[in-house]
Amino acid sequence: MTYVHDPLNARHRQGQGHHLERIDADDERITHHFGWVDNLDLNDSNAQIRVHFLDYEQIGPKKTQHFTWITAASPINRSQYCTRVRSCRPDLSLA
């Protein structure tokens, strides 16, 4: 993991992050991992700017794909997460 994942990992250790795991409805060999944290400082120089961190990983039998987004949109909840991931990756099929 890189520096950009440090806030996500720290919040998860503190019990403040969210995580969701799903088995693909069309192929049970594929697992989708979702993680998100709301209300983070953008960075040390712009702590007044609050952002939301989204992390997605798709693990399949042939390859693993990992994507990360930082957004200033409204906070994220479980029902919105897949919609947000789909809007960032329109070619991604999530059940």
59 domain-assigned: yes
For residue 95, the model assigns a pLDDT of: 42
Instruction: Give CA 56 to chain center in angstroms.
Output: 4
For residue 76, the model assigns a pLDDT of: 64
Counted domains in the chain: 1
For the question of whether the overall pTM of this predicted structure is more than 0.75, the answer is no
Q: What is the pLDDT of residues 77-91, one digit of tens each?
A: 666 656 655 555 444
C-alpha span between 82 and 43 (Å, rounded): 26
95 domain-assigned: no
43 domain-assigned: yes
Q: Per-residue pLDDT averaged across 14-39, rounded? A: 87
For residue 62, the model assigns a pLDDT of: 94
For residue 91, the model assigns a pLDDT of: 43
Q: For residue 43, what are the domain limits?
A: 3-88
81 domain-assigned: yes
For 10-14, 38-42, 80-84, which range has the lowest pLDDT when averaged over its residues? Answer: 80-84
60 in Cβ contact with 69 (< 8 Å):
no
